């Protein structure tokens, strides 16, 4: 039977897992790190390489596990992705959610504001609420999400999606 009204949309997807990211890897010293404004400055991250996530050893899209590039000097990864929001007002009081896989020691930023941090790793894609109100970090037009992972030991990986949902 046909319905009389279109149901209210309660989820807006910005990007899915396995999407393309700008990224850079680093060694152990401050000289290997990107500029302080790496998470919002397109002139900085725009010069980095790109790859589809899963970024890291477990997905092998960045680090080549056959040569264990990480073990010979890479200590961190910085990843940046641009996404578009057309009407922040319509989703301003919705939560920002992610399905995220990280290993390990992650910090996530949206438009330069830290929205998530975790000191260890998870074992695959898990759901996390990044912010209670999307309007507190999003703007109309181009937005930037950034992640920094700092390797403690063992494997290394990063992937995430981003969506807004009405609670």
pTM, entire model:
0.86
Q: What is the pLDDT along the chain (167 residues), one digit of tens a residue?
A: 666 776 777 999 999 999 999 988 876 666 778 888 999 999 999 999 898 988 876 554 454 444 444 444 456 889 999 999 999 999 999 999 999 999 878 999 999 999 999 998 888 899 999 999 999 999 999 999 999 998 776 667 899 999 999 97
- Phi first, then psi: what are they for 70, rounded to 5°? -60, -45
Nearest to 92 by CA among 135, 129, 132, 131: 135
Q: What angle do CA 83, 118, 21 make, to 5 degrees?
A: 30
Q: What is the pLDDT of residue 27?
A: 66
Q: What is the pLDDT of residue 154?
A: 66
Q: What is the pLDDT of residue 150?
A: 84
Find the DSSP H helices in 15-151: 42-45, 88-91
Cβ proximity of 100 and 126 under 8 Å: yes
- Phi first, then psi: what are they for 69, rounded to 5°? -55, -35
């Amino acid at each position: 039977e046909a319905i009389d009204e279109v149901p209210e949309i309660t989820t807006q997807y910005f990007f899915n897992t396995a999407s393309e990211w700008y990224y850079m890897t680093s060694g152990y010293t401050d000289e290997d790190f990107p500029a302080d404004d790496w998470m919002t400055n397109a002139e900085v991250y725009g010069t980095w390489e790109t790859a589809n996530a899963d970024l890291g050893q477990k997905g092998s899209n960045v680090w080549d596990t056959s040569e264990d590039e990480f073990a010979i000097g890479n200590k961190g990864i910085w990843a940046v992705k641009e996404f578009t929001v057309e009407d922040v007002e319509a989703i301003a009081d919705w939560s920002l959610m992610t399905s995220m896989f990280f290993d390990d020691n992650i910090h996530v930023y949206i438009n330069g504001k830290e929205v998530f941090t975790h000191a260890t790793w998870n074992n695959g894609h898990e759901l996390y609420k990044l912010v209670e109100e999307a309007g507190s970090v999003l703007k109309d037009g181009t937005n930037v999400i950034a992640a920094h992972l700092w390797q403690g030991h063992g494997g290394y990986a990063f992937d995430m999606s981003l969506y807004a949902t009405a609670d």
